[in-house]
Amino acid sequence: MLRYVLRRILMTIPTILVASAIVFLMLRFIPGDPALLMAGEDPKPEVIQALRRQWGLEEPLPVQYLMFMRNVVEGNFGTSIRSGLPVSFEISLRLPHTIVLSVVAMTLSIVIGLLVGIVSSTRPYSLVDNVSMFFALVGVSAPAFWTGLMLMWVFAVKLGWLPAVGVGTPAHLVLPSIALTGFTTPVLARQTRSSMLEVLRQDYIRTARSKGLSERAIVYGHSFRNALIPVITVAGISFGRLLGGSIVTETVFAYPGIGKMLIDGIFARDYPIIQGAVLVYALVFTFLNLLVDMTYAYVDPRIHYE
């Protein structure tokens, strides 16, 4: 297991390098002079020259990339043009908010999605199954920004039960997390239902029933764990989609996370902020893929890492 983990960590290095190269080229290949764009309107020549020196734009492209990677390793993502603060400091303030929101939303998605999927699989094509899959289809189809706006309009504006924007109390997490679960829970529910139905048709399940085991023991003791492998894969992908969806959700609810910071940076042409945020997302996605692969062995003992 340890050898596998080390090998997987080494395999993530090329992924991180490719992601960092894309982030690096994103600023260098924009139309026009990046220093001129970062300097704002009517910049002084000395300001433009200082920005070129700061970002190493006067050096050849390979040298610029090496300088960029050295800064990334040191945790130096540059200075925000909009706020004048180090980008790493801005990320350290915003990232915990996004992590908390994503973990709460993903926990809700897993609990609700697994329960709905298991119940639907034990009663296939029943009224419960049809209603659950209908709402799952609606949840997958509804855009995140529309779901967020509807939740805000009903529970914050009309009923006044929950705050609409901001952060500070657990109540501020309710609407954004529900909006995020809107498109991850249905995917998990449908995948759980499909996997459970496939496992429940296996010969060893019929053997377990013939031995007189209760349906509860068959579903939760024999079927559920064997159906988890594809569900874990989908959960990892859904977590990545959830992080991507948090960009829209955080903007709708004015939630001060990485996604909101990225959108603000795009509108303000704050390229250091954009670089830092995109690179953080790439690193998180890579880590999630590694975590999913490591989880397989603990769920299914038939899987061996060699």
Task: Supply the CATH number for residue 264's domain.
Answer: 1.10.3720.10
Query: Do 245 and 163 share a structural domain?
Result: yes
Please give the tally of structural domains in the chain: 2
Domain annotation covers residue 304: no
Q: Quick one: pLDDT band at residue 32, thresholds 50, 70, 90?
A: low
How far, in Å, CA of 282 to CA of 23, rounded? 9
Can you say whether the dihedral through the CA atoms of 210, 215, 221, 225 is positive or negative? positive
Query: Do 183 and 43 share a structural domain?
Result: no
Domain annotation covers residue 82: no
State CA 260 to chain mean position distance.
14
Domain annotation covers residue 271: yes
Q: Quick one: pLDDT band at residue 272, thresholds 50, 70, 90?
A: confident
304 pLDDT higher than 60: no
Radius of gyration of the chain (CA): 24
Higher pLDDT, 197 or 54: 197
Query: Do 63 and 212 share a structural domain?
Result: no
> Across the chain, what does the average pLDDT equal?
78
Q: Which pLDDT score is estimated for 305? A: 53
**Identity of the residue numbered 260:** K
Domain end residue (candidates: 38, 58, 73): 73
6 pLDDT higher than 70: yes
Query: Do 197 and 276 share a structural domain?
Result: yes
> Tens digits of per-residue pLDDT, 174-183?
888 888 887 7
> Tens digits of per-residue pLDDT, 276-295?
888 888 888 878 777 777 77
> Tens digits of per-residue pLDDT, 254-265?
888 888 888 888
Using DSSP's 3-state secondary structure scheme, residue 237 falls into helix
Query: Do 263 and 198 share a structural domain?
Result: yes
State CA 70 to chain mean position distance.
26
Domain annotation covers residue 108: yes
Domain annotation covers residue 83: no
Q: Quick one: pLDDT band at residue 306, thresholds 50, 70, 90?
A: low
Per-residue pLDDT, averaged over 51-67, amounts to 75
Query: Do 102 and 29 share a structural domain?
Result: no
Indicate left, alpha or beta for 225 from its phi (over 0: left) and psi (-120 to 50: alpha). alpha
Burial of 189 (C-beta count, 10 Å sphere; 0-12/13-18/19+): buried
Domain annotation covers residue 80: no
Indicate left, alpha or beta for 80 from its phi (over 0: left) and psi (-120 to 50: alpha). beta
Using DSSP's 3-state secondary structure scheme, residue 263 falls into helix
Domain of residue 104, residue span: 96-299
Indicate left, alpha or beta for 255 from its phi (over 0: left) and psi (-120 to 50: alpha). beta
190 pLDDT higher than 80: yes
244 pLDDT higher than 60: yes
> Nearest to residue 71, comparing CAs of 24, 37, 36, 33?
24
Query: Do 252 and 205 share a structural domain?
Result: yes
> Nearest to residue 122, comparing CAs of 48, 50, 196, 231?
196
Q: Which pLDDT score is estimated for 59? A: 73
Q: Which pLDDT score is estimated for 34? A: 65
Query: Do 126 and 273 share a structural domain?
Result: yes
Domain annotation covers residue 158: yes
39 pLDDT higher than 80: no
Query: Do 254 and 174 share a structural domain?
Result: yes
Query: Do 123 and 175 share a structural domain?
Result: yes
133 pLDDT higher than 60: yes
31 pLDDT higher than 70: no
